[in-house]
Chain A
Amino acid sequence: MRCLMVLISVLLGVMLGGGCASGVRASDDAILRAVRNGDHGIAKSIALRERAANLRDKRYLLDQELVLWTALAEGDMPVATRAADDTYDFLRLQGVNAGTEGARFFVGDQAARTWKGEPFEQAAALAAIAAVDGVKGDWGNMRASALSATFQLRELAVVEAEGEGEVRFVASDFEIAHALAALGARELGLREEMEEALRDLAAINPELGGLAGMIRSGAGNTAFIVDYGSGPERIASGEDGSVAAYRERTPSDSAELVVTVNGRAGVGFPVVTDYNRLAFDLKWTSLEAQRRAKSAIGTGLVYGGIGVAAISDDSGAQLAGLGAALAGLALKATAAADTRQCVAVPQRTYLALVDVPHGAGFVKLGINGHPDALIELPMPADAGVFTLHYVRLPTRPNARTSVVYANDAWGSLEQPTLPWVLGGRCVRVPTYDLVREYRQAGLPEWVTRSDLLAMYEEEGIAISGIGAGVPNGVHILEGGDALYTPVVGSAGFVRLFCRQQPSYVPSGEMAIRILEDVR
């Protein structure tokens, strides 16, 4: 009898302990808030700091996806690219959780080796990877990532097996993947493939026929992938929380994105993908039946066990009834759905194609009926090639159009200026050419590029691409310790370089020596 009680206790401990292992971290809430406010640098910094670096960590993939989404929104392409590489590698692994089905029944979803996320989250991550590649002008990889995104959903939509394991697929309805695949195919000269992707796009949603036509005709020299809102929240509902359900964070609507170039009349673009819809339509339910069964069996064991214990006169049977009731409670306690998710997935995605005239100008992006979702992007004189930008719209206005800090994505300001840490307006990585420009702004002749690098090091500032490579911190203009450059046309670029930032007070010996000579 003692042995039985010990076993019951151990089993309860394992199940209940395991049941508590899942859930959402406090840092996820902080990331969600930062993304909503357009503070993508802060969101990226938290995501980098909190991410699981070990492939065997269950949160590994979700954490890479958080870095991917936040770095992409910030426009920090070195960080976004690394996260895209890691995310893609893992998403392309097959059978990651093979053989854990039994354990997942008894212990819950936390018995999975790694949580790969819902199909829509995986597809969304692949769309984000495609965006990273598109922003870099790597059309081949953009197309490949977009094709992979449709493949992920096709797998879910298998309708029947034929012959010796041959599978017939139904088409994926992940609109943005078809649109990006078509755009990539067009840029690579794969006309036939582009036509096929555009036919699929228009078939999924006839309202996207106009966009398909623009892609086909080559209209516009600039594309914008514009994301808005927060994707749905994953919650446990139903008996014992055994059903994984979704609740809207940002409500769905069909409001158009309006794009205005240099103040001309705006052009409207429809919502391409609504992630609320995807989550509700395609949520992965392979474990849901198990969870529901566990809940039902658990309920049966509890009532049955209590009944036996209550009506039986035999002490052994009473004990057995009690054991069954306890086992039932344990099953019910671990029937709850896992609520881990990637909180940085947007609610909706737009794709806009516009002509930005030669010469510097600005592009204004806003959503009808959402006055806070507004951003104005300064655009440089273009090099005559088709470019793609990714913009994560804030939920508060961010309308600034002039660049007030020289940076590596934009170049110089009209007048030469000193580094920001020396009281100037330049946040570029020091190069030999730049040192010459600094001298025109008053930098003493004796200061070399190495001195400037030493100065940054003394100030505790990590420079992207130099030394450790990719700094984790917040940008120095926002009080952090990282010097990196968001790409032109990103929300991070506007937030950092198009508004007045507080001045910097250096503390290192080199900066103070230089400043003494400047004065």
Chain B
Amino acid sequence: MVPPRRVISIALVGALAGGLSACKSTPGTGTTRFSVSDVEFSAGSLKTELLASAFLDGRTRESEPFVIMAGDAVNLSAERLPESDRWGVVSMILYDPEVRAAFDAKNVHVHLTPEKRKLFRRYVLPGSGLDPYDLPADTHLFNVRFRSIQRAAAVKADAADVRKDVFVVEAEITELSSGRLVWSGETSFARAARGLLLD
């Protein structure tokens, strides 16, 4: 028969080791949040669609100028998306070197929104020639929308410990004079993560 004090010793050592090893372990965290790589993926995918679109096809440097205003980046998803990420998609499409080269070759220009122009102007020295109000009128509007679908399930826990989010990113260009949609693109991707959200 094992002596009682040995039993207690083993129990104490086990408790101590268990407690300390658990304290040392690293977090096994995950998230389905929209990330920087998602910004890059979405912009890259939409950029490819735009470059291959009929909107640019057939245009030359001598074509009538198009002036696209970056309008809005609306979040219709169930995920809070920082403004920087939303505008990241817009800017990574419209200011992508390939897109800029194509726009230059096809007489297409890009403008800031009126709100952003105001911010720009606040710190631009008057008379510097950089006043963003000295620009030709906009002819087209560029908008991006973000949507998502959420799914949650329970694998191990009583509460949901698996989550999957499917994101859909849509971009479109509208002709301002007619309201006609002249280009639209869409891309989607899914993100999944495990682990309790509440703890």
User: Footprint of B on A, CB under 8 Å?
Assistant: 1, 3-4, 7-8, 10-11, 14, 85, 88-89, 91-103, 106-107, 111-113, 116, 119, 122, 129, 133, 138, 140-141, 143-145, 147-148, 151-152, 155-156, 158, 161, 165-167, 169, 188, 190, 284, 286, 316-317, 319-320, 323-324, 327, 431-433
Contact = CB atoms under 8 A, between A and B. Distances in A.
B82 interface: yes
Interface stretch (B44-52, B88-96, B151-159, B168-176): B151-159
B180 interface: no
A156 B81 CA distance: 24
A133 B76 CA distance: 14
Contacts of A316: 3-5
B13 interface: yes
Contacts of B18: 102-103, 106
B194 interface: yes
B179 to A, nearest CB: 16
Interface stretch (B61-69, B104-112, B119-127): B119-127
A116 B198 contact: yes
Interface-centre pick from B79, B163, B193 (highest chain A CB count, 10 A): B79
A94 B150 contact: no
Nearest to B19: A106
B89 to A, nearest CB: 14
Given A7-B12, A99-B22, A152-B197, A138 B160 contact: no
A160 B161 CA distance: 13
A121 to B, nearest CB: 11
B4 A94 contact: no
A166 B158 CA distance: 11
B196 A98 contact: yes
Contacts of A4: 5, 8-9, 12
Contacts of B79: 144, 148
A116 B158 CA distance: 18
A151 B150 contact: yes
Contacts of A11: 12, 15-16
A97 B196 CA distance: 8
Contacts of B195: 93-96, 98
Contact of A7 (B16, B31, B74, B194): B16
A1 B5 contact: yes
For chain B, which range describes its interface: under 10, 10 to 19, 20 to 34, or 35 or more residues? Answer: 35 or more
B199 A93 contact: no
A93 B5 contact: no
Which 9 pairs show the lowest CB-CB distances between chains A and B?
A95-B195, A140-B75, A103-B22, A94-B195, A320-B4, A106-B19, A144-B80, A165-B153, A7-B12
B77 interface: yes
A167 B78 CA distance: 19
A161 B154 CA distance: 7
Contact of B80 (A112, A141, A155, A432): A141
B17 to A, nearest CB: 10
B57 interface: no
A432 B125 contact: yes
Given A144-B77, A145-B80, A166 B153 contact: yes
B5 A320 contact: yes
B106 to A, nearest CB: 32
B148 to A, nearest CB: 9
Contacts of B5: 1, 4, 316, 319-320, 323
B43 interface: no
Contacts of A145: 80
Given A93-B30, A155-B160, A323-B5, A188 B74 contact: yes
B134 interface: no
Nearest to B9: A4
Nearest to A117: B198
Contact of B160 (A107, A112, A158): A158
Contact of A99 (B20, B25, B80, B123): B25
A165 B78 contact: no
Nearest to A193: B76
Contact of B29 (A7, A96, A119, A138): A96
Contacts of B13: 7
A320 B11 CA distance: 12
Nearest to A305: B8
Contacts of A92: 31-33, 197
A94 B197 contact: yes
B196 A95 contact: yes
Contacts of B15: 11, 106
B70 interface: no
B58 interface: no
B135 interface: no
Nearest to B162: A165
B195 to A, nearest CB: 2
B12 A8 contact: yes
Given A92-B33, A94-B195, A95-B161, A111 B154 contact: no
Contacts of A103: 18-20, 22-23
Given A165-B155, A323-B5, A94 B78 contact: no
Given A94-B29, A156-B198, A141 B75 contact: yes
Contacts of B3: 316, 320
Contact of B154 (A85, A167, A286): A167
Given A100-B22, A141-B75, A94 B16 contact: no
Contacts of B153: 165-167
A432 B126 contact: yes
A148 B33 CA distance: 12
A336 to B, nearest CB: 16
A111 B74 CA distance: 41
A156 B4 CA distance: 43
B80 A133 contact: yes
30 contacts: A7-B13, A8-B12, A10-B16, A91-B197, A94-B194, A95-B161, A95-B196, A97-B196, A99-B28, A101-B22, A106-B15, A106-B19, A107-B19, A140-B77, A140-B146, A144-B79, A144-B80, A151-B150, A155-B160, A155-B196, A156-B198, A158-B154, A158-B158, A169-B160, A286-B199, A317-B4, A320-B4, A324-B8, A431-B122, A431-B123
